Amino acid sequence: METSFYSFNVNGLRAAIKKGFCEWMLEAKPAVLCLQEIKATPNDIDISFLTNLGYHHYWFPAQKKGYSGVAVFTKLKPDFVALGIDNAEHDFEGRVIRTDYGDVTHIATYFPSGTSGDARQAYKMKFLNDFDEYIAKLRTARPNIIISGDINIAHKEIDINHPKKHTKMSGFLPEERAWVDKFLAKGFTDSFRVFNQQPEQYSWWTYRANAREKNLGWRIDYNFITDTLKPRLKQAAIHANVVQSDHCPVSVVLDL
Question: For 181-209, what is each residue's pLDDT tens digit?
Answer: 999 999 999 999 999 999 999 999 999 99
Residue 82: what pLDDT?
Answer: 98
Q: Say what the pTM is.
A: 0.98
Active-site position among 150, 159, 221, 246: 150
Question: For 123-143, what is each residue's pLDDT tens digit?
Answer: 999 999 999 999 999 999 999
Residue 103: what pLDDT?
Answer: 98
DSSP 8-state symbol, 138: H
Question: For 60-114, what is each residue's pLDDT tens digit?
Answer: 999 998 899 999 999 999 999 999 999 999 999 999 999 999 999 999 999 999 9
Strand arrangement of the beta sheet that strand 56-60 belongs to? 56-60, 70-74, 32-36, 2-9, 250-255, 233-238
Residue 71: what pLDDT?
Answer: 98
Bridging pattern class, strands 250-255 and 2-9: antiparallel
Q: Is 150 a catalytic residue?
A: yes
Share of the chain above pLDDT 90, in %: 98
Is the Cβ–Cβ distance between 25 and 53 less than 8 Å?
A: yes
Segment 26-42 shows an average pLDDT of 97
Where are the domains positioned within the chain?
2-255
Residue 131: what pLDDT?
Answer: 98
Residue 57: what pLDDT?
Answer: 98
The string over 61-73, giving b where at least 16 C-beta atoms fall within 10 Å of a residue's C-beta and e elsewhere, is: bbeeeeebbbbbb
Residue 235: what pLDDT?
Answer: 98
Residue 92: what pLDDT?
Answer: 98
Residue 32: what pLDDT?
Answer: 98
Question: For 15-24, what is each residue's pLDDT tens digit?
Answer: 999 999 999 9
Residue 52: what pLDDT?
Answer: 94
Question: For 227-239, what is each residue's pLDDT tens digit?
Answer: 999 999 999 999 9
Q: Alpha-carbon distance 120 to 118, whole Å?
A: 6
Residue 15: what pLDDT?
Answer: 97
What average pLDDT does the structure give for the chain?
Answer: 97
Q: Answer whether CATH 3.60.10.10 is correct for domain 2-255.
A: yes
